[in-house]
Amino acid sequence: MNRRRFVAAACACGVSSVFGESLDARMNPGFRPDPASDENGLWDTFGKEEKNLKRSRFLIRDPELNAYVNARWVSQFGHYPAAWLADPRFLCGAALFVAGVVINVTADNTLLRLRRENRGYQIPRGGLYERVSCPNYLGEILEWTGWAVATWSLAGLAFALYTIANLAPRARAHHRWYRARFPEYPSRRRALIPF
């Protein structure tokens, strides 16, 4: 295996662990919000959605499978000469990926800041939260869509579609919860797609 393929495979394996860390992974194991808090209702809603997702026919039960399939594609099956780095597909995909990372991290930091303020559950404000309820999910979808375009592979496309199938229903549930919980929730704010 040449050096370029080794680096590409390492990136494919490590990218989800570096950039794909969710807000839930940053909490202590066994965390549960106070039953009397507003956050507990959202927690319960997500619990129900997680149960539904676990029964889905489309669930990928082995998270390492994605890393393996994408790393295998990039390192052995895909053909990426040095000129690929200047290909419009790679450049557009890399730009989408970076934009998704920035959106995801910025949105997660907004949620973490609200949690640190410890004033109960609030409506997130600022940035893409002015347009959508779940910009962190939008960012993650953009990341993996960017990966699919940059690698121009069936493996990348499969994971992008899996990410959309996983996060779009969660974004809708989150959006419904916000609207039910907060009468003053911005009526123009959408669940996931800002237009």
Tens-digit pLDDT profile for residues 57-90: 656 566 677 778 888 888 888 888 899 999 999 9
Count Cβ neighbours within 10 Å for each residue of 57-72 and write b for 16 or more, e otherwise: eeeeeeeeebbebbbe
Question: Taking 70 as the threshold, does the pLDDT of residue 185 lie above it?
Answer: yes
Helix, strand, coil % in the chain, rounded to nearest 5: 70, 0, 30
| Of 186 and 119, more confident | 186
Pick from 142, 67, 164: nearest CA to 97: 142
CA atoms within 13 A on the CB side of 32: 5
If you average pLDDT over every residue of the chain, what do you get?
80
Residue that has been written with the tokens 């995801």 in this structure: 104
Residue that has been written with the tokens 């590409």 in this structure: 8
Question: Taking 60 as the threshold, does the pLDDT of residue 104 lie above it?
Answer: yes
Question: Taking 50 as the threshold, does the pLDDT of residue 152 lie above it?
Answer: yes
Instruction: Tell me what pLDDT residue 79 has.
Output: 84
Q: Residue 17 is encoded by which pair of tokens?
A: 């662990």
CA atoms within 13 A on the CB side of 54: 6
Please compute the mean of the pLDDT values over residues 117-132 and round it to a whole number. 88
At residue 135 the predicted structure's pLDDT band, cuts being 50, 70 and 90, is very high
pTM (two decimals)? 0.69
Question: Taking 50 as the threshold, does the pLDDT of residue 22 lie above it?
Answer: no
